[in-house]
């Protein structure tokens, strides 16, 4: 990610942390740094999509009462990348409805 994408990812992750209860013992700056380090090699578009899916409760098999771990976030980011690539190969644009 370039610097402007890191800023966008930081804003998105801040919204994620604000969407879930945080431990009073946690250090928000360290937490943010850990999450940014975990996702820095991914495309920003996939990070943003993954964060929104967690915020909206759309990620299966996670406890929706707590903020996802860095590993859970990275897993969802990889899944978002796969879905984006599949849609691109099929000639679909992001957000385009799938007709069944």
pLDDT digits (tens, 9 = 90+) for 4-44: 999 999 999 999 999 998 777 788 899 999 999 999 999 99
> Of all helices (H) and strands (E), which one includes residue 54?
helix 44-55
Q: Of 31, 34, 4, which Cα lies nearest the Cα of 20?
A: 31
pTM recorded for the entire structure: 0.86
């Amino acid at each position: 990610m370039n610097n402007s994408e890191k800023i966008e990812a930081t804003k998105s992750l801040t919204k994620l942390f604000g969407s879930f209860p945080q431990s009073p013992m946690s250090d928000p700056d360290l937490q943010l740094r850990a999450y940014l380090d975990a996702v820095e090699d991914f495309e920003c578009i996939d990070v943003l999509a993954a964060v929104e899916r967690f915020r909206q409760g759309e990620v299966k098999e996670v406890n929706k009462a707590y903020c996802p771990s860095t590993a859970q976030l990275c897993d969802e980011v990889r899944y978002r990348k796969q879905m984006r690539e599949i849609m691109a190969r099929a000639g679909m644009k992001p957000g385009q409805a799938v007709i069944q």
